[in-house]
Amino acid sequence: MDYEGKRILVVGGGRSGLAAAEKLLGLGAEVFLTDMQPKDKLKGLAELGLENDHLILESEPDINGIKPELVVLSPGVSPKLPFIQEAARWGIPLWSEVELALRDCKSMIVGITGSNGKTTTTTLVGELAKETGKNAVVAGNIGIALSSRVNRLREGDIIVAELSSFQLEFIDQLRVHIAIVLNLTPDHLDRHGNMENYASAKARILENQREGDLAVLNWDDPQVREFAQLTKARVIFISQKELLDSGICLDGQDIIVRTAKQSVKIISGSELLLRGKHNIENTMAAAAAALEMGLDINQISKVLRRFEPVKHRQEIVGTFDGIVFINDSKGTNPDSSIKALQSYEEPVVLIAGGKNKGLDMTEFLTEAKKKVKSLVLVGQAAAEMELIAKDLGIDKIVRSTDFADCVLKAIGEAEPGDVVLLSPACTSWDMFKSYEERGELFKELVRKHYSEP
């Protein structure tokens, strides 16, 4: 697409918005940028060099006045905002930042989506992509804007992109050569309204695939299994529960790739550094992508054996006074935190709470009742979670005044042999800018407590 001289409105002045604006300016577009934050709060905005009349800050833009030919949305921006609705009524194209980044890209695109496990799987596929010897970039919802990383990529390179429902909601022609859909559980219903809309956004990862592409789908998730009908690509299923006639599945503890002619062991689950059944699922999906990228079994198993958990996803902070501290700050929905709880046989002191995304916490707290010796609650969702926990009969519930207080109270509840697990089942947005900021403070507070006399 030719962007030269086109009037384009970028919505959002965070990482994605700034990267999109920079890319568009480099392509000769006339860029307008809007954000509800003041200029001094938008780090990196000054470097773009936009004139003041092209910055609309702390107020909504006048679509009629700007007359944009395209609107590029940052993932955190609600499409329900009046000016975005107005643009849609006028027939102005609405693109996500990933559509802009990847629309004219000549490289192989591996896209990973799902409710849980995206970041671990994306990072693992990125490591496997590097093993091919090709130039590989890992970006997207993982915290690195794709628009900032794709300009120098060429045909034959590999892009591994974590793609959220927010990003997929406004794609247009984006073609994902290897698409992975891990699972679907309720998430972001405050944005999408219901599970049907949420699932439809996720399914868009498949809509522009072609016959030569690949879709990796989770057989164990009935809704994801049905996604096979939505793609023109070849489909390979993964399963922990069934010995598939064809696909990647479990044979005892062994992860195998199975075809009509043979079964080949990739790796034993006991050899993985990643804990939990959900990480078997992530490993299977990554292995399917690796085979498609041209790696052999030995190359794949070598990478899998050395791969460690990513930051903020069941990250081991350390063992202090016989207590293991685990940072699972990326557990921002109930299903994700259920999977974290199920990874531990030890008694657990659980830190939970934050900002709920309109999700039911009953199943999560039912699992907590089985696993948790003390439940330490914090944030906006604490009162709601306490009521459910009491109804379920959870004995030890501890309320805290702020995040630092909840960490100290969790330490006070723990004894040698216990696990203190931060897996909030909620977003961080009531107290922090991101789950990363929350996780980093957790690690800092734990280490500070044990380093001080």
For 7-92, the fitting CATH number among 3.40.50.720, 3.40.50.970, 3.30.200.20, 3.40.640.10 is 3.40.50.720
CB-based contacts of 177, cutoff 8 Å, min separation 6: 108, 109, 110, 209, 213, 214
Q: At 395, give phi and psi (nearest 5°).
A: -75, -50
Domain ranges for the chain, please list them: 7-92, 104-306, 315-451
Residues 217 and 237 sit within 8 Å (Cβ to Cβ): yes
94-133 tens-digit pLDDT? 999 999 999 988 899 999 999 888 888 999 999 999 999 9
- Tell me what pLDDT residue 314 has: 82
- Tell me what pLDDT residue 75 has: 87
Residue type, 362: T
Instruction: Classify the phi-psi angles of 312: left when phi > 0, otherwise alpha if psi is within -120 to 50, otherwise beta.
Output: left
Cross-sheet strand order for the sheet of 70-73:
55-57, 30-35, 7-11, 70-73, 94-96
In CATH terms, the superfamily for domain 315-451 is Mur ligase, C-terminal domain (3.90.190.20)
CA 128, 108, 435, 334 dihedral sign is negative
Residues 25 and 48 sit within 8 Å (Cβ to Cβ): yes
Q: What is the CA radius of gyration of the chain?
A: 23
- Tell me what pLDDT residue 376 has: 97
- Tell me what pLDDT residue 358 has: 86
CA 205, 210, 213, 215 dihedral sign is positive
Give me the tens of pLDDT residue by residue for the chain, a chain 453 residues long. Answer: 789 999 999 999 988 999 999 999 999 999 999 999 998 888 889 888 898 999 999 999 999 999 999 999 998 888 889 999 999 999 999 999 999 999 988 899 999 999 888 888 999 999 999 999 999 999 998 878 899 888 878 889 999 999 998 899 999 999 999 999 999 886 666 666 688 888 999 999 999 999 999 999 999 999 999 999 999 999 999 999 999 999 999 999 999 999 888 999 999 998 998 877 888 999 999 999 999 999 999 999 999 999 987 788 888 888 899 999 999 999 999 988 998 998 888 899 999 999 998 899 999 999 999 999 999 999 999 999 999 999 999 999 999 999 999 999 999 999 999 999 999 999 999 999 899 999 999 999 999 999 875
Q: Helices 297-306 and 118-131, interaxial angle, to 10°?
A: 130
Distances (CA, A) of 237 to 249, 276, 324, 436: 8, 20, 36, 32
Distances (CA, A) of 2 to 5, 29, 209: 9, 9, 23
- Tell me what pLDDT residue 139 has: 92
357-383 tens-digit pLDDT? 889 999 999 999 999 999 999 999 999
315-451 and 104-306 share a CATH fold: no
Q: Span 104-306: which CATH code?
A: 3.40.1190.10
- Tell me what pLDDT residue 187 has: 63
- b/e map 218-247, b = 16+ CB within 10 Å: bbbbeebbebbebbebebbbbbbeeebeeb
